[in-house]
Structure 1
Amino acid sequence: MDHFLYRDGELHAEDVPLRDIAQAVGTPFYVYSSATLLRHFRLFDAALEGMDHLVCYAMKALSNQAVIQLLGDAGAGMDVVSEGEYCRARAAGIPGDRIVFSGVGKTKGEMRTALTGGIRQFNVESEPEMEALSEVAVSLGLRAPITIRVNPDVDARTHAKIATGKSENKFGIPIDRARDVYAHAARLPGIEVIGIDVHIGSQLTELEPFRAAYGKVADLTEALRADGHDIRRLDLGGGLGIPYATGNANPPLPSDYGALIRESVGHLGCEIEIEPGRLIAGNAGLLVSEVIYVKQGADRQFLILDAAMNDLIRPAMYDAHHDIVPLVEPAPGAERATYDVVGPVCESGDTFARGREMAQVGPGDVVAFRSAGAYGAVMSSEYNSRPMVPEVLVQRDQFAVIRARPTFDEMIARDTLPAWL
């Protein structure tokens, strides 16, 4: 569910007509619904009610300061994967004991920043990383709390570029080596082992891969406890998918996911962490764009928008589907057309959809890409010297620009010329 609905023939974000935002900030722009972000976070929180747990929002999905603070004020922890994300979380008021640091390539500088600034835990992904973390912690007179990310060799049945739990993926340690790695961790002076971490991928649309992975984690928990380790926290990752295309089968609900967690690991008495990102942010955002031209090709029509692949790269990178709808609601029985929907970037890959049947639109009409809140703005760039698009947050009948569009002068001023020029 989201809060982007037609009212009186116009698409709204909560109680704000999107036309009003387009007139105020220009197109293209991202717009997010506070109500949808909070609703999705609370669904996960409620799914684990009665268990000792923390829902850590995966900031890589959407990391604007306003969104982080909105979720943090509601009680969310944060899952970060870089020093920059850590600093964003802290700047938004998230306490260190609600921040989990994930990622395969943490540097000593990043470790030092998190240890001195406060951290809930590091999700460690390799023995060299664990040894480096111990060295940094000892130099600061601290012990670093860690879980070790295990790779359960489970096929998440998702896109190859976002699968993380198979043996050929770069993430985690092979689960059959876990007992040896935990024994090594216990001998390191700067390390405090507190639990196990697992994350098998993103955009999962069925529960069985989770069931297979969590069953292996449960067995490992009992084995490690038998070895003398105090396993008291299980970080079960994120990855629950969202419906990108209208009419597609819906992925499992957070309540179904919570029930699976209880069934799989609830008997272990561990604190549970989960790290949803896409499901919290995905359907909470739209990318809004204006039609520049409708161009007739040899055998197709091209709908040319003012948004491009640098604004929303998911279709080019993952062949991702986003429903595209007009801001003015089509009348019943209104004419439809088939388009290749493209942007103005000088790449054939700058294509959002091929052969897409949709409401007929023309130059000057405005359309919205649904389910664009996750991995949209955060993956955007200034390719072709196109300014980063503004981000807008809506709350009921109010809206605010939470990241402004830079001017061309501001973009150019970031470059510096060497003295010899």
Structure 2
Amino acid sequence: MKEDSKGNGMDELIRSVVKKQEGAGNGTKEALPQRKHAKDADLQEILKKKKANVFIVGCGGAGNNTISRLMQVGIEGAKTIAINTDAQDLLYTDADEKILIGKEITEGLGAGANPKVGEAAAKESKDELKTVIDGADLVFITCGLGGGTGTGSAPVVAEVSRKENSLTVAIVTLPFHMEGSHRMANARMGLEKLEELVDTLIVIPNEKLIEIVPDVSINTAFKVADEILVNAVKGITELITKPGLINLDFADVKAIMGNGGVAMVGMGESDTENRGYEAVHKALTNPLLDMDIEGATGALINVTGGADLTLKEAKEIVTSVTSQLAPDAKVIWGAMIHRELGDMIRVLLIVTGVKNYTVGIPPASGEKVPELKDGIEKDLGIEFI
């Protein structure tokens, strides 16, 4: 009889908790009514100071596109900064802050696809860059490598950020192979410089877009790459700035991405019967992020789902990732409830310290693909140089 009574009591407790949870809001921690305490003001001040300052710097045309898109979709708790040598491009960029770099060198007319000009322009405006980045805890630098302004200025921004003791993460795209050896050489040079200067370098090879979206226009393919980049920046930022069911904070992100080396960001979602497994599988096998995570040293995992997201599902997702990492890898994970997702589970995965990877840059003597080149020029109305 005692055992039955215990069982009934436990069942009642579970039912009570489930009922309360179903009536809750968005799945974040509930602010319970409480008495005022003499220390509350001090605690609030400490929390205010503890809030991480996240800055996102878009360098050049591609980086500015990312900044505008982030402003369009909305990003919570981050400051956006657009820098460019092209005054017209900067004029039409939506950002919290704008800097026209290298006014004396380029007169606002761009870098002419020359990274040395982009680098000189950034160095000319170094004091202004230092002022606008001052106070940042985390700086994201985003650009498309291969051109002049982004390739040349991003390493200068990284150098300024690191000297300010900010956690510095670069998320960059690489050009299509058919864009030619000149742009590939530029991209290779920019990549090598960034890898030496940033804490974590996330690489998105555009060439892999051909595998993902082979039958769409090139213009759409570029937008796909941009959207993945936007989701990566937004996803990592809001891990810190938005409350979650299981919280992650800046210290968590710093533990994984500080000196993280080359990293992979994967995203996947599913609403099927095996949604947890399928979502993490998609995140791990995303062909745009062409890296082998075996032996990686760290992972930051964020699991987002509707009101029915279970702890078991989240744990299975985390286990799927950790089983592929080094035994001593640092793993931190969080979970958030977004009721609008319904039956969908979404996984954001950042794996750092990736040892075995390719970045989609062919050898310097790699052949062009004229058919694809012609298609891109026709779709975008441009001519590659």
Q: TM-score, normalised by structure 2?
A: 0.29
Q: TM-score, normalised by structure 1?
A: 0.27
For CA contacts below 8 A with separation 6 or more, give which structure has more relative contact order.
Answer: 1
Larger strand proportion, structure 1 or 2?
Answer: 1
Larger helix proportion, structure 1 or 2?
Answer: 2
